[in-house]
Chains A and B, each alone.
Chain A
Amino acid sequence: MSAITYSNARHERLARLARRATWRLAGGVLVLWAVATLTFFALHLMPGDPVLAILGGASGNPTAETIAQATREFGLDKPLAAQYALYLGRLLQGDLGMSYSQHLPVTQVLAEQSGATLQLTFSALALAWLLVLALTVLTAGRGRWVSSLASLAETLAAALPHFWLGILLLAVFAFGLRWFPPAGSDGWRTLVLPAVALAIPLAGFIAQVTRESLELTLEQPFVLTARTRGLSDTAVRFKHALRHAVLPGISLSGWAIGALISGAVVIEVIFSRKGLGRQLYQAVQAQDLPLTIGISLAVAAVYVLANIVIDLLYLWIDPRQQGKTA
Chain B
Amino acid sequence: MLERSPHLRSQGRRSRSLLKRTPLIGFAALCSLLVGCGPDTSTVARSDKPVSGGTLVYATDREPTCLDPHVSGDMPQVFIGQQYLDSLVSMDEQGQIGPWLAKGWEVSADGLVYTFHLRNDVHFTDGTPFNAAAVKANLDHMANPKTQSSTAGGYIRQYRSTEVLDDYTAVVHLATPYAAFLEVLAQGFLGIESPTALLRSRDQNCESPVGSGPFKIVKWDRQSQVELVRNPDYNWAPPTARHQGPAWLERIVWKFIQEPSVRFASLQAGEVDVIEALPPESHEAARRNPDLTMLVALRPGNPTNGTLNITRAPFDNLKVREAFVRSADVEGALKSVYFNEFPRAGGALSSATRFYSPDFEHAQDYDQGRAAQLLDESGWTGRDAEGYRTRDGKRLQVHVVIGNRTPPSELTLWEQVQATTRKAGFELLVEQMSDVQATQRQADWDYDIRVGYWNTNSADVLRIVFGSEFVQPAGVGGYHQNTAGFASPQFDAINQQALATQDPEQRRALYYQTQQIASQQYLQLTTYPQSSRLGIYKTTQGVRLEPSLAVTYLYDAWVNK
Q: How far is the CA of A109 from the CA of B262 in the complex (A)?
A: 25
Closest to A64 in B: B475
Complex contacts, A70 vs chain B, CB 8 Å: 148
A49 at the interface (CB under 8 A from B): yes
Quick one: given A58-B5, A182-B266, are A52 and B436 in contact (CB under 8 Å)? Answer: yes
Selected from B145, B146, B266, the residue in CB contact (under 8 A) with A181 is: B266
Quick one: given A58-B6, A112-B222, A184-B224, are A287 and B436 in contact (CB under 8 Å)? Answer: yes
B476 at the interface (CB under 8 A from A): yes
Q: How far is the CA of A273 from the CA of B224 in the complex (A)?
A: 7
Complex contacts, A66 vs chain B, CB 8 Å: 145, 147-150, 153, 475
Complex contacts, B268 vs chain A, CB 8 Å: 175
User: Which of B1-30 touch A at CB < 8 Å?
Assistant: 1-7, 13-16
Complex contacts, A46 vs chain B, CB 8 Å: 434, 436-437
One digit per residue, 1 when the CB lies within 8 angstroms of any chain A CB and 0 when it does not, for chain B 234-257 equals 000000000000000000000111
Q: How far is the CA of A99 from the CA of B455 in the complex (A)?
A: 28
Q: Are B256 and A272 in contact (CB under 8 A)?
A: yes
B361 at the interface (CB under 8 A from A): no
Quick one: given A48-B439, A59-B2, A65-B145, are A103 and B262 in contact (CB under 8 Å)? Answer: no
B531 at the interface (CB under 8 A from A): no
Q: How many residues of A contact B (CB 8 A)?
A: 57
User: Which of A74-110 touch B at CB < 8 Å?
Assistant: 98, 101-104, 109
Complex contacts, B436 vs chain A, CB 8 Å: 46-50, 52-53, 57, 287
Q: How far is the CA of A71 from the CA of B477 in the complex (A)?
A: 10
Q: Are A67 and B477 in contact (CB under 8 A)?
A: yes
B281 at the interface (CB under 8 A from A): no
Give, as a whole number of angstroms, the nearest-CB distance from A62 to chain B. Answer: 5
A174 at the interface (CB under 8 A from B): yes
A234 at the interface (CB under 8 A from B): no
Residue among A60, A70, A101 with the most chain B CB within 10 A? A60
Q: How far is the CA of A61 from the CA of B477 in the complex (A)?
A: 11
Q: Are B265 and A182 in contact (CB under 8 A)?
A: yes
Q: Are B150 and A272 in contact (CB under 8 A)?
A: no
Q: How far is the CA of A212 from the CA of B278 in the complex (A)?
A: 50
Give, as a whole number of angstroms, the nearest-CB distance from B269 to chain A. Answer: 6
Give, as a whole number of angstroms, the nearest-CB distance from B466 to chain A. Answer: 15
Q: How far is the CA of A121 from the CA of B158 in the complex (A)?
A: 53
Q: Are A59 and B266 in contact (CB under 8 A)?
A: no
Q: Which of A136-144, A274-282, A293-301 contacts B (4 or more CB under 8 A)?
A: A274-282
A183 at the interface (CB under 8 A from B): yes
Selected from A62, A113, A183, A273, the residue in CB contact (under 8 A) with B475 is: A62
One digit per residue, 1 when the CB lies within 8 angstroms of any chain B CB and 0 when it does not, for chain A 4-30 equals 000000000000000000000000000
Closest to B13 in A: A59
Q: Are A52 and B477 in contact (CB under 8 A)?
A: yes
Q: How far is the CA of A99 from the CA of B481 in the complex (A)?
A: 27
Q: Are A63 and B258 in contact (CB under 8 A)?
A: no
Closest to B202 in A: A103
Q: Are A58 and B479 in contact (CB under 8 A)?
A: yes
Complex contacts, B434 vs chain A, CB 8 Å: 46-48
One digit per residue, 1 when the CB lies within 8 angstroms of any chain A CB and 0 when it does not, for chain B 450-483 equals 0010000000000010000000001111010100
Q: How far is the CA of A269 from the CA of B440 in the complex (A)?
A: 28
Q: Are A62 and B439 in contact (CB under 8 A)?
A: no
Q: Are B435 and A183 in contact (CB under 8 A)?
A: no
Quick one: given A53-B436, A58-B5, A61-B474, are A69 and B223 in contact (CB under 8 Å)? Answer: no
Complex contacts, A103 vs chain B, CB 8 Å: 65-66, 71, 202-203, 206-207
User: Which of B86-116 touch A at CB < 8 Å?
Assistant: none
Q: Are B72 and A58 in contact (CB under 8 A)?
A: no
Complex contacts, B154 vs chain A, CB 8 Å: 61-63
A170 at the interface (CB under 8 A from B): yes
Q: How far is the CA of A55 from the CA of B452 in the complex (A)?
A: 17
Complex contacts, A271 vs chain B, CB 8 Å: 262
Complex contacts, B477 vs chain A, CB 8 Å: 49, 51-52, 62, 67
Give, as a whole number of angstroms, the nearest-CB distance from B257 to chain A. Answer: 4
Q: How many residues of B contact A (CB 8 A)?
A: 68
B296 at the interface (CB under 8 A from A): no
B370 at the interface (CB under 8 A from A): no
Give, as a whole number of angstroms, the nearest-CB distance from B224 to chain A. Answer: 5
Q: How far is the CA of A57 from the CA of B65 in the complex (A)?
A: 13
A227 at the interface (CB under 8 A from B): no
Complex contacts, A174 vs chain B, CB 8 Å: 262, 265, 269
Residue among A52, A56, A63, A109 with the most chain B CB within 10 A? A56
Selected from B13, B263, B481, the residue in CB contact (under 8 A) with A56 is: B13
Quick one: given A59-B16, A66-B475, A185-B224, are A178 and B74 in contact (CB under 8 Å)? Answer: no
Q: Are A61 and B476 in contact (CB under 8 A)?
A: no
Q: Are B258 and A274 in contact (CB under 8 A)?
A: no
Give, as a whole number of angstroms, the nearest-CB distance from B447 to chain A. Answer: 12
A270 at the interface (CB under 8 A from B): yes
One digit per residue, 1 when the CB lies within 8 angstroms of any chain A CB and 0 when it does not, for chain B 58-81 equals 010000011000011110000000
Q: Are B474 and A63 in contact (CB under 8 A)?
A: yes
B188 at the interface (CB under 8 A from A): no
Q: Are A56 and B73 in contact (CB under 8 A)?
A: yes
Q: Are B452 and A59 in contact (CB under 8 A)?
A: yes
Closest to A102 in B: B65
Selected from A60, A104, A272, the residue in CB contact (under 8 A) with B262 is: A272
Complex contacts, A63 vs chain B, CB 8 Å: 145, 153-154, 157, 474-475
Q: How far is the CA of A275 from the CA of B224 in the complex (A)?
A: 9
A285 at the interface (CB under 8 A from B): yes
Give, as a whole number of angstroms, the nearest-CB distance from B152 to chain A. Answer: 9
A168 at the interface (CB under 8 A from B): no
B166 at the interface (CB under 8 A from A): no
Q: How far is the CA of A298 from the CA of B442 in the complex (A)?
A: 35
Q: How far is the CA of A63 from the CA of B480 in the complex (A)?
A: 11
Q: Are B153 and A55 in contact (CB under 8 A)?
A: no
Complex contacts, A113 vs chain B, CB 8 Å: 222-223
Closest to B5 in A: A58
Q: How far is the CA of A184 from the CA of B269 in the complex (A)?
A: 14
One digit per residue, 1 when the CB lies within 8 angstroms of any chain A CB and 0 when it does not, for chain B 105-147 equals 0000000000000000000000000000000000000000111
Closest to A104 in B: B203
Give, as a whole number of angstroms, the nearest-CB distance from A292 to chain B. Answer: 13
Residue among A55, A59, A71, A175 with the most chain B CB within 10 A? A59
Complex contacts, A235 vs chain B, CB 8 Å: none
B221 at the interface (CB under 8 A from A): yes
Q: How far is the CA of A123 from the CA of B489 in the complex (A)?
A: 66
Q: How far is the CA of A184 from the CA of B519 in the complex (A)?
A: 46
A317 at the interface (CB under 8 A from B): no
B405 at the interface (CB under 8 A from A): yes
Q: Are A59 and B145 in contact (CB under 8 A)?
A: no
User: Which of A309-323 touch B at CB < 8 Å?
Assistant: none
Closest to B436 in A: A48
Complex contacts, B148 vs chain A, CB 8 Å: 54-55, 62, 66, 69-70
Complex contacts, B202 vs chain A, CB 8 Å: 103
User: Which of B250-305 touch A at CB < 8 Å?
Assistant: 255-259, 261-263, 265-266, 268-269, 271
Selected from A69, A98, A183, A273, the residue in CB contact (under 8 A) with B145 is: A69
A216 at the interface (CB under 8 A from B): no
Q: Are A59 and B475 in contact (CB under 8 A)?
A: no
Q: Are B269 and A178 in contact (CB under 8 A)?
A: yes
Complex contacts, A65 vs chain B, CB 8 Å: 145
Closest to B59 in A: A183
B372 at the interface (CB under 8 A from A): no
Closest 9 CB pairs of A and B: A48-B436, A61-B154, A274-B223, A58-B4, A60-B150, A67-B475, A65-B145, A61-B1, A59-B13
A–B Cβ pairs within 8 angstroms, 7 of them: A55-B148, A58-B438, A58-B452, A62-B154, A63-B153, A272-B258, A273-B223
5 other contacts beyond A61-B481, A272-B257, with CB at 8 A cut-off? A60-B73, A63-B145, A63-B154, A103-B207, A273-B223
